[in-house]
Structure 1
């Protein structure tokens, strides 16, 4: 049973990594880089991880670029 839980946890983390990578690629295609984009380490802890993608910090210019791209998508 413990092995099955470990496999499930690993799959959950892999899924979060893939989501992070998809977001990074989409942002890059839009000309935006979030240098701190990663998985939140605390959310990976424990037997049943619930990984979160941490968007991290960015410079004000990058935040404005992201806001501009989002506004264009919402129009």
Structure 2
């Protein structure tokens, strides 16, 4: 079964950001890096002109631990 194409431009932009987030997470995992949080954010609630991959916030100890 194939996934249907998102109907609106905003939905397509969110789908694009989700795909980018997933690809980035896969690449980081292969490199041995794990971020504490990764999600998708849109700057406007009504209609998303674009979506952002939010890489989350982490403490300094967590950031240093991810380098190991």
- Count matched residues: 61
Q: TM-score scaled to structure 2, two decimals? A: 0.68
| Structure 2 CA distance for partners of 1:32 and 1:14, relative to 1, 3 Å | same
Q: 2:1 matched to 1:26?
A: no
- Write the distance in 2 (CA, Å) between the matches of 1:23 and 1:39: 12
1:45 offset after TM fit, Å?
2.0
**1:3 equivalent in structure 2:** none
| Structure with more helix by fraction | 1
Gaps of 5+ in 2: 1-6
1:50 offset after TM fit, Å?
1.6
Give the alignment's Cα RMSD to 1 decimal. 2.2
Instruction: Judge conservation of contact 1:20–1:53 (CA < 8 Å) in 2.
Output: yes
Gaps of 5+ in 1: 1-5, 69-75
Greater C-alpha radius of gyration: 1
Q: TM-score scaled to structure 1, two decimals? A: 0.63
Decide which moves more: 46-55 or 14-23: 46-55
**2:58 equivalent in structure 1:** 58
After superposition, the C-alpha distances for 1:19-74 in whole angstroms (9 at most, x for unaligned) are: 1111111110111111211112x4262223321111112243543466x6xxxxxx
